[in-house]
A and B are shown apart, each in its own frame.
Chain A
Amino acid sequence: MEQQIFHHTYENGITLVAQPMPWLESAAFSIAVPAGCRYDALSQRGIANFVCEMVQRGCGDLNSREFIEALESLGVDYSSSASLYNTNFGGAMQAAQLHEALRVYADVLQRPSFPKDQLEDGRLVCFQEIAALGDDLAQRALQKLRTNFYGSIEGRNCEGSLETVQSITLDDIENFYEQHYRPNGLIIACAGKLDFDSLQAHVGELFQDWQAKPDPIVSTEPANHGVEHIEHESEQTHIAIAYPGVAYSHENYYLNRGAIGVLSGGMSSRLFTEVREKRGLCYTVFASCHTLKDKGAVLCYSGTTNERAQETLDVIIEELQKMAQGIKEDELRRLKVQVKSGMVMQQESCRGRAGSIAGDWFHLGRVRTLDEVNEKINELTVESINEYLAANPPQSFDIVTLGPQPLEFEANGISATQA
């Protein structure tokens, strides 16, 4: 399968990156605006998310209702969200509508009208997003874990709190927008049935008047490593574990990714086999690679009935520690087929591709082609992964449990204040 990636960076700093997928009838875009929640002031936590909501409540000549109707009449299946680094806008549609859909988003990004009469409705939507986290116990455990592991800025959730969102004014929103919505560092990724030359001309026209702005200052807060229990009367205990991994941009990324694939990549992976298949301890158990721009983590999760939570935790920790002794040839062989197969399947979805090329550009400043990833995967050997694992054994676990009872850690060599 041929894969061509085109890119162009305009004078004002916008990068357009695209993959034509001529075998499809659809197209998708993924826009990353460098206005993530890491810029939220402590007293205004949730403002990036609130601004993301408000730019879609009237822009250009469109009021809030006309904006939605414009997208619907183009058949755009759209989405938006704020994340740590970026505020993201995405959409998928029949290929012929891509240019018109981007025209609508040119208004969203450059000409939001911030109507006063939409402010309180927008605020309520943000409140709802905060409330939604309350009943998702797995997410609550994982969210707390990320905050502890990465610190209160890089590990934050974008929703903020009821108090901070309550305090945000229309002036605050306009100020945040003025400061952070900017063309420099903005990525527009497109995939699907498209012609790059005409797309490049179209995007250039839509955004040519937008002037670059100075990059804002980013602050960080220290991590809060350790073990934490959140008491909650639930049927299951939710166990979330983190330890240091590597960033997507790091040369060791695929070594770590390979190791985690063996740990948790399929139905024959170690965690699934040991925790679920052999012992029947849970329905859900996984480990995954999580990446920030300059660092990464391995995040593990399982939910299990309270009486069996201690055993579940013990088995997971044992499997994590066992990784230091290395993986086997047949495990790596299976992993390679899985990764290869997964990459081909991703080619069926323009939405998936637009999202991943935007992510690649953000993290790497370029896009890894399928061939390149294939090569990286083929290069992996048991020796190279085991060498990496011996030098970087899973350890220094941060743990968050959520359930009626705290668990014991000493037997696993983990002290409550963190090893």
Chain B
Amino acid sequence: MEYRQHRLKNGLNILAECNPQAYTSAFGFFVRTGARDETSEISGVSHFLEHMVFKGTPNRSAAQVNLELDEMGSSSNARTGEESTIYHAAVLPEFQGQVVELLSDIMRPSLRVDDFETEKQVIIEEIKMYDDQPPYGGYERMMSEFFGKHPLGQSVLGTVDSVSGLTPESMMSYFKERYSPSNICFAGAGKIDFDKLVEDLDKHCGQWTPFSPERSTNTADYQTGFVSMHKPNSHQQYILQMAAGPSSAQEIRFATAVLCSIIGDDSGSRLYWEFLDSGLAESAGMGGYDYQGSGAVMTFICCSPEQAQENLGRLAKLQQSIRKEGITQKELNLAKRKIASHIVLASERTNSRMFSIGSQWLSEESFKTVAEIAAIYESVTLDQIHEALAAFPLDQNMTVTVGPCENLVAPN
């Protein structure tokens, strides 16, 4: 296993974990752009652009892009978030040159009008699809309530209105503000010929003109409160709760991740014993959301509407008792054991290694190997856990609840 990196003259970063033993190779372009980099007039443009990237270039039609990805037997996809857009493909190693050329080419999309209007319909279908899926826009509402006016509160999908209003021109000008090679990293993992990779990327991307995209990363002014969304057609009640958490650059994020596992893992955690083992909820969990400059931890509960008010009270009580009595060494040890096992399992997937490398770059971290990450988690102490608990009090939160209940109130 060898970690390699190279920066092209125009600033494009190339990072790879080369494993000659691997049977597959995974590659991806990681772009530091997402919903937080949009204005309200172009809300949803990052995500729509992600779709349009697969719609062809001066060299290829949309259909050709799809054909070629399938001809390589690739497993490819893309995703857009609050601060990143990722395009990735896993292939057999023999297709390295071909897939790198294709991914590089589609990163300079044509945005043809016909394709744009057809794809706009797909995006609107996607928005409607999530409208039918729990928690029915509750997550986006949470982000906007919790982050308030901070750009992290902006919706990734946008609305039917904002997406309908987008044009190829407005998308192109967004593209020209964000897709600078210096704002992009190409990450690879698995069986990779790194020298060839650098040579190919220089050939395909070396002429991309660099510029300096801006992003404000000041810390959000986190909001607290209680918001109830009435969804009469829903069977279950969904409770989301966000409290402050570490940003992606804070050391304490590792202890916070362990804390999230202790409180909210889907098995054996505090929430598990309180809500799942007892059958008081259908699902319950807690996880970290770290961004540049800001961060959150989110608690999620889904239960019957009849049980919702009582569960809100139980959750508040549980958080108070954790704050007062803390976490035990035994809980910490179990969580660390579990995390160590997850790290081993994840490290065996080439795709997940590629994501780890690219994501570390996105959050401006220096590269860490699997062993280094495992060692950091292993070294987390009970003191650090309690420090995280004190730094990010769970009971100071924004709560958003969605479902048939009309009269839920914040617990005392």
Query: Interface of A with B (CB < 8 Å)?
Result: 1, 23-26, 64-65, 68-69, 71-78, 92-94, 97, 120-129, 131-132, 134-137, 232-236, 265-269, 272-273, 276-284, 303-305, 333-334, 337-342, 344-345, 347-351
Closest residue of B by beta carbon distance from A284: B129
Q: Let me know if B66 and A72 touch, CB within 8 A.
A: no
The 4 closest A-B pairs by CB, nearest first: A124-B279, A75-B341, A134-B235, A341-B73
Contacts of B131 in A (CB 8 A): 235-236
Question: CB of B379 within 8 A of chain A?
Answer: no
**Shortest distance in angstroms between A214's beta carbon and chain B's nearest beta carbon?**
34
B167 at the interface (CB under 8 A from A): no
A residues in contact with B272, CB < 8 Å: 68
Contact partner, A75, options B67, B69, B338, Cβ 8 Å: B338
Once the chains are docked, how many angstroms separate the CA of A333 from the CA of B72? 10
Residue of A64, A78, A338, A340 most packed against chain B (CB within 10 A): A338
Asked if B132 CB lies within 8 Å of chain A CBs, one says: yes
Shortest Cβ distance from A85 into chain B, in angstroms?
A: 26
The distance in angstroms between the C-alpha atoms of A252 and B123, with both chains bound, is 38
A97 cross-chain contacts in B, Cβ below 8 A? 341
Q: Evaluate contact between A69 and B350: CB separation under 8 angstroms.
A: no
**Nearest B residue to A92 by beta-carbon distance?**
B345
Q: Are A135 and B134 in contact (CB under 8 A)?
A: yes
Chain A contacts for B340, CB-based, 8 A: 75, 94
Contacts of A68 in B (CB 8 A): 267-268, 272, 277
Sample of 7 further A-B pairs with CB below 8 A, known A236-B129, A337-B70, A350-B348: A72-B268, A234-B132, A236-B128, A278-B118, A280-B118, A341-B73, A344-B23
* A414 vs chain B, min Cβ distance (A): 24
Q: Is the CB of A93 within 8 A of B341?
A: yes
| A234:B236 contact, CB within 8 angstroms | no
**CA gap between A74 and B340 in the complex, in Å:** 10
Distance A337 CA – B132 CA, assembled complex (angstroms): 36
Known: A72-B268, A128-B279, A342-B75. A77 touches B345 (CB 8 A): yes
The number of chain B residues with a CB under 8 A from chain A is 67
Interface status of B3 (Cβ within 8 A of chain A): no
Q: Are B122 and A282 in contact (CB under 8 A)?
A: yes
Q: Are A304 and B125 in contact (CB-based, < 8 A)?
A: yes
Q: Which of A125, A272, A283 lies in contact with B276, CB distance below 8 A? A: A125
What A residues does B75 contact at CB under 8 A?
341-342, 345
Once the chains are docked, how many angstroms separate the CA of A345 from the CA of B73?
11
Candidates A24, A94, A131, A345; contact of B235 at CB < 8 Å? A131
- Tell whether B280 is near chain A: CB-to-CB under 8 Å: yes
Contacts of B303 on A, CB cut-off 8 Å?
128
Interfacial chain A residues near B71, Cβ < 8 Å: 333-334, 337
How far is it, in angstroms, between the C-alpha of A266 and the C-alpha of B348 when the chains are bound?
25
Whether the pair B345, A351 counts as a contact (CB closer than 8 A) is yes
Tell me the smallest distance from the CB of A271 to a CB of chain B, in Å: 12
Contact B74 A281 (CB under 8 A): no
Candidate in B69, B303, B344 with the most chain A CB atoms within 10 angstroms: B344
Task: Please name 8 pairs of A and B residues whose Cβ atoms are closer than 8 Å in the assembled complex, sorted by A.
Answer: A76-B341, A94-B341, A121-B279, A132-B282, A267-B70, A277-B118, A303-B129, A334-B70
Is the beta-carbon distance between B234 and A135 smaller than 8 angstroms? yes
User: Max chain A CB contacts within 10 Å: which of B129, B235, B302, B337?
Assistant: B129
Shortest CB–CB separation between residue A131 and chain B, in angstroms? 6
* Distance between Cα atoms of A232 and B131 in the complex (Å): 14
Q: Which of B355-412 touch A at CB < 8 Å?
A: none
- Is the C-beta of B152 less than 8 angstroms from some C-beta in chain A? no
B124 cross-chain contacts in A, Cβ below 8 A: 305
Shortest distance from the beta carbon of B51 to any chain A beta carbon, whole Å: 10
Given contacts A72-B338, A125-B279, A132-B236, contact A26 B126 (CB under 8 A): no
Q: What B residues does A128 contact at CB under 8 A?
A: 279, 281-282, 303-304
Q: Is the CB of B279 within 8 A of A280?
A: no
Residue of B nearest to A127 (CB): B279
User: Is B129 a contact of A131 with CB atoms below 8 Å?
Assistant: no
| Docked complex: B1-43 residues within 8 A CB-CB of A | 21, 23-24
Kindly list chain B residues whose C-beta atoms are within 8 Å of the C-beta of A129: 282
Q: Once the chains bind, are B236 and A135 in contact (CB under 8 Å)? A: yes
A179 vs chain B, min Cβ distance (A): 25
Is the beta-carbon distance between B23 and A305 smaller than 8 angstroms? no
With beta carbons under 8 angstroms apart, the residue of A124, A126, A305, A344 that contacts B280 is: A124
Query: What residues on B are CB-neighbors of A24 within 8 Å?
Result: 348
Q: Is the CB of A123 within 8 A of B341?
A: no
A127 proximity list for chain B (CB < 8 A) = 279, 304
Interface residues in B44-72 (C-beta closer than 8 Å to A): 54, 62-63, 65-67, 69-72
**Nearest chain A residue, comparing its CB with the CB of B22:** A348
Give the distance in Å from the alpha carbon of A266 to the alpha carbon of B73 in the complex: 9
User: Across the interface, do A276 and B122 meet the contact criterion of CB distance under 8 Å?
Assistant: yes
B349: contacting residue among A121, A132, A339, A348, CB under 8 A: A348
- For B126, list chain A residues within 8 Å (CB): 283
Residues on A with beta carbons closer than 8 Å to the beta carbon of B72: 337, 341
On whether the beta carbons of B132 and A137 are closer than 8 Å, the reply is: yes
Task: Report if B120 contacts A (CB, 8 A).
Answer: yes
